[in-house]
Structure 1
Amino acid sequence: MDTLPCQGCKGLCCGPVPITEKERRKIQKYVKAMPRKIRFDLENQQRLFGTCMFYDLQADRCGIHEARPEICRNFGYHEDLVCFRKPELATKAKIIRRELPVGHLSIDFTWKDF
């Protein structure tokens, strides 16, 4: 599978990010296991409103990549989640969510929730 050209985007596609309850719990577990310094550095970065709170501006990548929500895993490969830098990768049909989101990262859920 061809990959997305994420380096250099500075998180333009990273938000708002809807999450399910199952994803919230998975992220919460992952964040609690993070080394204190990594969490502190990630938590204290200044992002634009709506940008995912877990987008690591300094590293230019997802700070919770292993625990990222399914919508993030599917981004760029579905016709309703097109990457503007490589739209030809969006060859799959629209996403059908099995669970409804319980909120959005950075808006409904903030660092105090994790």
Structure 2
Amino acid sequence: MAANDAYKTRLIDCDAGRRMGCQSFCCRMLVRLKPHEMEKPADGTPPKSFIDKDEEGYCIHFDKKTSLCGIWEQRPEICREYECNSDFMLQVALRETFCNIVELATKAASTYIPAETYTFIPEIEADESED
């Protein structure tokens, strides 16, 4: 299996997640770039190590009209590797309203959700996820 194939094996159905109430919380998380993904500025300053956020706290590549990633094919490795169903914050996001990622994290710090009550966002079937 090629390195990129691993990213295709477990794609989450983000449309289903939003319908379930995740509120696209992962698109508000800090996205740290790996060293080989950082663009070196021409002026010699250190490269930026993260993806910028808009005024509402969403990734600048998140299209709020379509709820899609604007750089899906070139998204950072951390985005390709992220698996929301293993993140406790998804469970909180599905149960609580929040305005920003800090508010969600604060709610998560004081929330107990038994594992047997977890809700999971469905995965896209492998044949549907072909690029």
TM tier relative to shorter chain: 0.3 to 0.5
Task: Specify the structure having the higher radius of gyration (Cα).
Answer: 2
Larger helix proportion of the pair: 2
Task: Decide which structure has greater strand share.
Answer: 1
TM-score, scaled to structure 2: 0.39
